[in-house]
Chains A and B, each alone.
Chain A
Amino acid sequence: MKPQYRGEDVEGNRVWGTPVQYLSKSGRQVYRITFQGGKIYDASGALFDTTDASTVFSGEGKAIFVMDENGDFYASKFQQVGRFHHSSLAGGEPVAAAGEMKVEHGVLILLSNKSGHYRPGRTFTEQALDSLSRKGISTDGVTRDFV
């Protein structure tokens, strides 16, 4: 995470003033997405779909995601400046990938590396795509939205 955002989870911090929510390891489980039969599922077991999601970078139709050092993915359909960011999903810890994803009926459509807090290079997104491929997700037709 960029050092400028350190301490943002504390009330009265010098970044936003208001605290950003940082999820604990147990708290982030409701945001975990899993993979089965080539499809993506949310924590409730339903097909993941970002049609009703939005990010501050792209507007509607995408969710923010992070991949941790174990290759586990967490995604949120909600992002709000100064309240909930990629850093929220990771509890402020380092990530193996971060960005946005567009998913329709469990099918991955797009992956980006747009994360203001982590600003990861393309390598990290490729890392995420490799991990997804190993989990049975087809990445051939997936749009790569690199910045």
Chain B
Amino acid sequence: MLNQRSKSLIRALLYPIQFDRNPVDGVERVLKLVVDAGALGATPPEYLASTKAALASSEKLSKLIPQEHSEKVIRRYLMKIQQRLSSIPGASSHSAGKRGVTPAIPLPEVAQNS
């Protein structure tokens, strides 16, 4: 069972992509507008810990907010969020819950035109 705080943080991660045709395409937007913005007063480690807990739970994550994506699509999206959050230095789950320092989310690697 997910605790109430984790459910709220997962709702925050799901809310912006509910209208995206492919939620994975919205990962960077969500990292910027939810995680980096400290929505719900949470740090990246807290979002990472909640994402891990959610993916390891049998909770119907697609039902946490009113939306139409399937459970499979939602879990694939959260998996991508987890991967990106795991790439942030200092965002490991053991430090979840510590507030005050919000590590900046590094941009994904992009091909360089030179």
- CB within 8 Å of B: which residues of A? 2, 4, 14-18, 54, 56-57, 59, 80-83, 114, 116, 119, 147
Q: A14-B4, A54-B33, A59-B33 are in contact. Are A80 and B39 (CB under 8 A)?
A: yes
Q: Which of B13-21, B75-83, B86-94, B105-113 contacts A (4 or more CB under 8 A)?
A: B13-21
On whether the beta carbons of B8 and A80 are closer than 8 Å, the reply is no
- Count contacts on B: residues with CB < 8 A to the other chain: 21
Assembled-state Cα–Cα distance A80/B4 (Å): 20
On whether the beta carbons of A59 and B29 are closer than 8 Å, the reply is yes
On whether the beta carbons of B11 and A15 are closer than 8 Å, the reply is yes
CB neighbours (8 Å) of B65 from chain A are 4, 116
On whether the beta carbons of A4 and B12 are closer than 8 Å, the reply is no
On whether the beta carbons of B66 and A56 are closer than 8 Å, the reply is no
Query: Whole-angstrom distance from the CB of B62 to the nearest CB of chain A?
Result: 13
CB neighbours (8 Å) of A57 from chain B are 16, 18-20
The answer to whether the Cβ of B24 comes within 8 Å of any Cβ in the partner chain is no
Which chain B residue has the least Cβ–Cβ distance from A59?
Answer: B29
The answer to whether the Cβ of B27 comes within 8 Å of any Cβ in the partner chain is no
The answer to whether the Cβ of B40 comes within 8 Å of any Cβ in the partner chain is yes
CB neighbours (8 Å) of A59 from chain B are 29, 33
Of A14, A82, A114, A147, which is within 8 A of B12 by CB? A82
Query: Whole-angstrom distance from the CB of B22 to the nearest CB of chain A?
Result: 14
On whether the beta carbons of A16 and B12 are closer than 8 Å, the reply is yes
On whether the beta carbons of B66 and A2 are closer than 8 Å, the reply is yes
Q: A4-B66, A56-B15, A116-B15 are in contact. Are A17 and B29 (CB under 8 A)?
A: no
CB neighbours (8 Å) of B34 from chain A are 56, 81
CB neighbours (8 Å) of A4 from chain B are 65-66
Which chain B residue has the least Cβ–Cβ distance from A119?
Answer: B66
Of A14, A54, A82, which is within 8 A of B39 by CB? A82
CB neighbours (8 Å) of B8 from chain A are 15-17, 82
The answer to whether the Cβ of B55 comes within 8 Å of any Cβ in the partner chain is no
Assembled-state Cα–Cα distance A116/B8 (Å): 15
